[in-house]
Structure 1
């Protein structure tokens, strides 16, 4: 059930990324990178630093955490569907 939910959220998020202006501070992710979200059901360990990306004009926010083991992997959380930051991420993206 969680995987189905994550696919639905991912599809909505990718559509919003494609149609939005991206505002980023201290990060440089392309729309292509942000849109290539991989859905997995593995336990994550992350570096304790949040990276925020705002999708304009809706002001939807996604935040990412760098994976503890793979420095090119970033776990994506979509604030629109989160109550607590401790909830599971939608999936991950790879930074080229």
Structure 2
């Protein structure tokens, strides 16, 4: 009985690592990389399910990437609103 061995998708592993880097060493670039490679990995795994696994790794990378991007957007929005409000108050 030969059971085919499925290997983890390299893109899924890269997505997870980039997602972690997006929260630590490469704040924005790592998150974008995690999102891109996560979507590519999930497509690759769906195309070749008998050969590849690692959908959970890709999903974890996607979640980390999207959460980091959302945090950046909210942070920038708060920054602009706060200092825009201070500028508006200073001119009145």
- TM-score, structure 2 normalization: 0.30
Higher relative contact order (CA 8 A, sep 6+): 2
Greater per-residue helix proportion:
2
**Larger strand fraction of residues:** 1
Higher CA-based Rg: 2
